[in-house]
Structure 1
Amino acid sequence: MGKRSTWSRWTAGAAGLALGAVLLSGCGSQEAKAPTNYDFYIFNGKSENAEAMEEVVDRYEAETGLTIKLFSLGTTDVAETLRSEMNSSAKPALFSTNIGGVMEWSESGAILDLNEASNPELKALAAEVPEPLRLSADGSQNYGIPYNIEGYGLIVDTRMAEQLFDLENPEPFLEDFKAATYDEFENLVNQVDAYIATGQADQVMLNGSPYPFAASKTELTSRLTGVFAEAGAEKWTYGDHMGNIALNAVFSSAVDARNASEEQVEQLKGPLEKLARTLDLYSAHAAGMEGPLERGPSYINSTTASYDVSVQLFATGKALFLKQGNWVYPNIEKLNADILPTLTFLPIKLPLQQEDIQVEGLTVEQFNRSVPQFVPSYYAINTKVTEREQELAQQFLVWLNTTEEGRRTIVEDFQFIPYNADDSVKFENTLNNSLIQYQLAGDTLSNPFNGSPAGGAYWGQEVFGSILQERYYNREGEWTPEDYRTIAEQSVQGWQDVMY
């Protein structure tokens, strides 16, 4: 890192950001001289692509003859560093922000509504961003161009499914799983658990199709100790991710959740109650290193139930499913690269009734065959710099997102899923490819979690996540329907206590 061109640029560190979790790695901040004379300044808050962005800017400078100042963040304190730069005498023309930061910049008048962009190509590009993915304060604006798409679901190694059910081709099983009802999924979980324990189980039905278990275990299926690789010590894995699933029944986007009425928050009780039932199923069938991981102190202990342990359990074949996102791919690669070609996403299902769903046009069937996809960061234009700097920043965004060279950069150099990917976009990362297929099929949910109180992190972890961890995961014994209702009611009350 450091100086990479005759014009010098600032870069710093490396970090991985996944929804509510920050997984740190990198070299920290490293200073280099900024150019004293430059045409415009890019503040890049997505440090995963810091080095690649430097190389891209080098090429763009060579192509255009411009001089660009680039700063890529190497710490987790994105908001404070950006705030300092935005208030300095040398402001970025192009900067990174997200749904959590948009209110600050819209209220201060420092972010351009791309509906009013002076560059017609950028204006058209912004209009193509699907409404649930738009960066907005109240739904009427369109403040940013997505860096990329991320998403999550139940990750499965299709070889494990093949050997559990003695399949020649896993594709029909995967398609039937996607279309299966929650009750069929619940039965699958119970029967897989029985097969792990005894080597025998009843055949399961998925989408009405029968799937008998293999007559005997293989070397691979003999490793299983549970159905799910769970991280009970990490509230973000269920408070943020799973909480977001339920919110999708009432809110179509983060903007909708942020502007929720008290009546809409009340409508969360049904979906959250159904989510509690699902989390009961997951936590009652969790894998451990040597056998099942039981609810109780071990379930929330970082030595037995951390994020890293959950990934290890899955990567070494001790669990059938890992509920995580495409960002986990490099972690799995370090542990067991052999399974990378056979990884894919399956949807997270809830036992919803149609009356639980308030989003217009969304059915239980579509909900349960979809995966959440969202934009972690956006490029935004700063209205507090000169008109020329704004114009140049707009031209760079158009180049990056519409030209063959720019789009190749996003996929090959950044390894990002474009928000407007088509079926020609292919990665070595099989999880990225799986997300694109859901995207193209229109089987996606959104990220209303980021519109919950305090931008998601508070409600997801300190309300919903804490209720689960401290009062339910931490104790042994069965959960009851009354427990499900209590979890839902207390979680809704926690939201209301902050907002109303």
Structure 2
Amino acid sequence: MLNKRMKKIGSGILLAGLTLTTLAACGNASETNNSAADASGTDEGASGEVVEIDIFQFKVEFKDQFEALAKQYEAENENVKINIETVGGGSDYGAALKSKFSSGNEPDIYNIGGPEDVTMWVDNLTDLSDTEAANQALEGTLTGATKDGKVLGLPYNIEGYGVVYNKAIFEEAGIDATTIKTLTDLEEAAKTLDSKKEELGLDAPFALAAKELWITGLHSGNAFLNAEFDNDVMKAFDSKTVEFKYGEQFQKYIDISNKYSVQPANSLDYSQQIEQLFSNGKVAMTQQGNWVYPTIASVNPELAENIGLLPIPIDGVTEGTIPVGVPMYWGVNPNGSEAEVQASKDFLDYLYTTEEGKRIVLEDFKFVPAYKGYDTEKISDPLSKDVYTYYTEGNTTGWVFMGYPAGWGEQTLGAEIQKYVAGEATWAEVEDVAKTKWAEERE
């Protein structure tokens, strides 16, 4: 292990302002899986010698399933040992990854966001254009991780988010979720739930987890900025300014979410939002995506089978839609040995392009695949089914937040929304600060 790490220290990386964010993760977690395989040989990949792959990833929700896959892969490939470390949720994955590289303890496979991350990490990303996974990726899913014609990241999956809602509570309240297309519709549903919250056993209609800056600054913000940038992440990445063209509707959405939320919203984190409140039927709605299904199912399996996704719309512009995109990409570190790089590519190809890998992606990971050749009839959970339905029916908008300036979505927009929710700033001040910071970052 020491020799392997020392070879990687030579890259001399120390990147500042990393933009990687936890886009879809729960809880506070930092877990390492050191497999039972014994790395008794060197890592050069000669016959009979063990090649180690160190994976550093952010998605807490499928940590256990991913570690099980790694053990299965080791059993089928005796010369490969896989070590997995997962850091997500309230933990700062980006800062942790930066620390890994600066200390020389570099992973072989790690996660990058979109074009901002690709630009930062370009010298530490292997061209994956020759992988079968890149060849099988769905149209458009490689765009955010492609630079100068090179595929520098492979998509995790396709994810979508909106307002997750409890179908049983909606039915009991007499609300037809299929009629909710606009912000006005969403507000009327919240009012109805609020008027009946005692008989429905609700603490409040909504849970706005404003403590999580990625929820408001990245996801909420994206829902109202995607139209400004024509649903084009590269247009956002190249833009010198942000206008908040639909800022009035953005404010309305935050007002609805906060007014009808469990309070104080700025104290609500992911665990309280999903595990304590939504999964226990204490709120009927909360902004999240299909990635939360495993967490809900682990708390309340019965409730988990009776949930769905409502739109986060711009009235008159993107009514009846949800944002859908690639949450993160797998990058392969070129600073390891040739054997480590090849083993990393082989592992990712196994995951996304073999029959067993495809089964695991669909049935164990509960992913909506970003690759061809999958039996999408096997998408099993209700949130992923909703995402796939929105996607196939063309009722989606894009993810442009990966094109925001580094840190702007959370540390500027999300932080300013916290001030607004607390009554410490006006909405005009939120926009002014966010516009100024964007322009400064793009100078």
TM-score using structure 2 length: 0.77
Q: Matches of 2:418 and 2:85 in 1, distance apart?
A: 33
1:79 to 1:223, Cα distance in 2 relative to 1, 3 A: same
Shift of 1:138: 5.1
Q: Matches of 1:333 and 1:488 in 2, distance apart?
A: 38
Equivalent residues of 2:146, 2:153 under 8 A apart: no
Q: Matches of 1:328 and 1:56 in 2, distance apart?
A: 20
1:20 to 1:497, Cα distance in 2 relative to 1, 3 A: farther
Query: Quick check: 1:46 aligned with 2:57?
Result: yes
1:350 to 314, 329, 335: 314
Query: Quick check: 1:113 aligned with 2:127?
Result: yes
Query: Quick check: 1:72 aligned with 2:84?
Result: yes
Q: Matches of 1:62 and 1:318 in 2, distance apart?
A: 44
Larger Rg: 1
- Residue correspondence of structure 1 range 117-266 to structure 2 within 5 A: 117=130, 121-125=132-136, 128-131=137-140, 134-136=143-145, 140-165=149-174, 173-177=176-180, 180-193=181-194, 195-196=195-196, 221-251=199-229, 252-262=231-241, 265-266=242-243
**1:82-135 superposed Cα distances (whole Å, 9 cap, x missing partner):** 5269x67xx8665543335422432x2x433344x2x5x44522xx33325534
**Where does residue 467 of structure 1 map in the other structure?**
416
Equivalent residues of 1:45, 1:97 under 8 A apart: no
Q: Matches of 1:342 and 1:22 in 2, distance apart?
A: 20
Q: Matches of 2:399 and 2:376 in 1, distance apart?
A: 23
Equivalent residues of 1:273, 1:485 under 8 A apart: no
Query: Quick check: 1:447 aligned with 2:392?
Result: no
Query: Quick check: 1:56 aligned with 2:77?
Result: no
1:400 to 1:328, Cα distance in 2 relative to 1, 3 A: closer
**1:166-225 superposed Cα distances (whole Å, 9 cap, x missing partner):** 8xxxxxx34332xx33334334434444x337xxxxxxxxxxxxxxxxxxxxxx953235
Unaligned runs of 5+ in 2: 1-20, 46-50, 88-92
Secondary structure of 1:348's counterpart equals coil
TM-score using structure 1 length: 0.69
Unaligned runs of 5+ in 1: 1-16, 167-172, 198-219, 354-363
Q: Matches of 2:270 and 2:109 in 1, distance apart?
A: 34
Secondary structure of 1:462's counterpart equals helix
**Where does residue 204 of structure 1 map in the other structure?**
none
Equivalent residues of 1:135, 1:142 under 8 A apart: no
Secondary structure of 1:339's counterpart equals helix
Shift of 1:242: 0.7
Q: Matches of 1:132 and 1:156 in 2, distance apart?
A: 28
1:322 to 1:133, Cα distance in 2 relative to 1, 3 A: farther
Q: Matches of 1:57 and 1:30 in 2, distance apart?
A: 10
Q: Matches of 1:398 and 1:158 in 2, distance apart?
A: 38
What is the number of residues matched between the two proteins? 403
Q: Matches of 2:72 and 2:253 in 1, distance apart?
A: 49
Equivalent residues of 2:363, 2:379 under 8 A apart: no
1:54 to 1:238, Cα distance in 2 relative to 1, 3 A: closer
Q: Matches of 2:71 and 2:83 in 1, distance apart?
A: 13
**1:202-257 superposed Cα distances (whole Å, 9 cap, x missing partner):** xxxxxxxxxxxxxxxxxx95323533222244433322221121221123344432
**Where does residue 431 of structure 2 map in the other structure?**
488
**Where does residue 251 of structure 2 map in the other structure?**
276
**1:439-492 superposed Cα distances (whole Å, 9 cap, x missing partner):** 3333333332222122xxx3223322222222x32239xx9xxx5444333321
**Where does residue 9 of structure 1 map in the other structure?**
none
1:443 to 1:104, Cα distance in 2 relative to 1, 3 A: same
Code of the residue aligned with 2:437 in structure 1: it is: G
1:18 to 1:144, Cα distance in 2 relative to 1, 3 A: same
Q: Matches of 2:67 and 2:271 in 1, distance apart?
A: 31
Q: Matches of 1:139 and 1:280 in 2, distance apart?
A: 42
Shift of 1:18: 4.3
1:340 to 1:492, Cα distance in 2 relative to 1, 3 A: same
Equivalent residues of 1:135, 1:141 under 8 A apart: no
1:34 to 1:235, Cα distance in 2 relative to 1, 3 A: same
Calculate the aligned-residue CA RMSD, in Å.
3.5
Q: Matches of 1:474 and 1:308 in 2, distance apart?
A: 21
